[in-house]
Amino acid sequence: MSTQASRTAARLMISPAVLLLLGWMIIPLGMTLWFSLQRYNLLMPGMESFTGFDNYTYFLTDPAFGAAIFNTLALVLGVLTITTVGGLLLALLLDQPFWGQGVVRVLVIAPFFVMPTVSALVWKNMFMNPVNGVFAHLAKSVGLQPYDFLSQSPLASIVLIVSWQWLPFATLILLTALQSLDSEQLEAAEMDGAGPISRFVHVMLPHLARAITVVVLIQTIFLLSTFAEILVTTNGGPGTASTTLTYLVYIQSLLQYDVGTGAAGGIIAVILANIVAIFLMRMIGKNLEA
């Protein structure tokens, strides 16, 4: 198929796209690196100067930094756990033949089409609000004190909201994978004396390994940058109870106008994201090999 000439031609033809993408990535990264080494505060224009690694020191010694790291990990791990386990269960359920299957499948995907800001606002005002929310009404109807989700357990509430958004993605990917499983394999396992749980563990789960890996990798990348849901619900509070790394960068650059420290935080976030990515690929990346 591929001769020397055709390979050269192929490389030539994709090179503009590659160069464009490279520039797209390198320029913002380069600018962020540059800003992170500058003393650059929007409240003091014209005072920019080179400060070396001071910005990094400020960011790393910020009292909110430790909390932000913990919250970021808790958010990512919490959402990952809920969406993969929940997605797996939902996929198993949706794979069963039942009346109205088509409609139910569309409904399950629906949350994915709602903008993060909108869904977070709906959760905040219509469900979790301690006065008007549905949960408050439910609690009152059985004589309980309404629970103020967003101030009592802000991080868990955000995990819940973000999970609700990502559950359809996980369900969809796992359902397609489940449907690609050869039914004869399940029947063979049934004849071999495997009960429902053994069939799930020994036949379905290995078949789903690759899909689960994809779900975990893609979600991790997106979850590390969760922002809108925090901004419209808790603003990172109370205190730093729901401040993540992304949100801390936002606080530094746009609430304290310190672009330099914000940029340093951005670089630190990139490095941490890469560490997580390498870690993940080491752990589960082998599932992606054919």
Partner 1 sequence: MGEIILKGVTKRFGEVEVIPPIDLHINDGEFVVFVGPSGCGKSTLLRLIAGLEDVSGGVVEIDGRNATEAAPAERGLAMVFQSYALYPHMTVKKNIAFPLKMAKLPPEEIEAKVQAAAKVLNLANYLDRRPGQLSGGQRQRVAIGRAIVRNPEAFLFDEPLSNLDAALRVNMRLEISELHQSLKTTMIYVTHDQVEAMTMADKIVVLQAGRIEQVGSPLELYRTPRNRFVAGFIGSPKMNFIEGAEAAKHGAHAIGIRPEHIKVSTSEGAWQGTVGVSEHLGSDTFLHVTTEYGVLNVRAGGEVDLHHGDTVFLSPDMAQLHRFDQQGWALT
User: Which of 23, 206, 238, 239 touches partner 1 (CB under 8 A)?
Assistant: 206
Q: Scanning the structure block, which residue is given the tokens 């003091």?
A: 44
Q: Binding partner 1 by CB under 8 A: which of 10, 77, 188, 201?
A: 188
Tell me the residue type at 68.
A
* Under rule CB under 8 A, residue 37 binds partner 1: no
Among 187, 165, 166, 169, which residue's Cα sits nearest to residue 177? 169
Closer residue to partner 1 (CB): 43 or 197:
197
Count interface residues toward partner 1 (CB under 8 A): 17
Beta strands 49-50; 38-39: pairing state: antiparallel
To the nearest 10°, report the CA torsion of 149, 155, 161, 162.
Answer: 180
Degrees, nearest 5: CA angle 97-99-102:
80
* 59 half-sphere exposure, CB direction, 13 A CA radius: 30
From residue 209 to residue 228, what is the string marking binding to partner 1 with x (rule CB under 8 A)?
x-------------------
Min dist. Cβ of residue 200 to partner 1 (A): 13
Residue closer to partner 1 by CB (options 140, 192) is: 192
Among 3, 191, 197, 282, the residue binding partner 1 under the rule CB under 8 A is 191
C-alpha Rg value of the chain to the nearest Å: 24
Binding flag, residue 207, partner 1 (CB under 8 A): yes
Smallest separation, CB 99 to partner 1 (Å): 15
Rama region for 283: left / alpha / beta (φ>0; ψ in -120 to 50; rest): alpha
203 near partner 1, judged by CB under 8 A: yes
Q: Which among 46-54, 104-112, 186-194, 234-242 is the span making contact with partner 1, rule CB under 8 A? A: 186-194
Query: Smallest gap, in angstroms, from Cβ of residue 182 to partner 1?
Result: 6
Reading the block at residue 273, the tokens are 């994201």
Query: 108 with 194: CB under 8 angstroms?
Result: no
**Nearest distance in Å: CB 183, partner 1:** 9
Contact 170, 215 (CB under 8 A): yes
Residues found near partner 1 in the complex (CB under 8 A) = 182, 184-185, 187-194, 198, 202-203, 206-207, 209
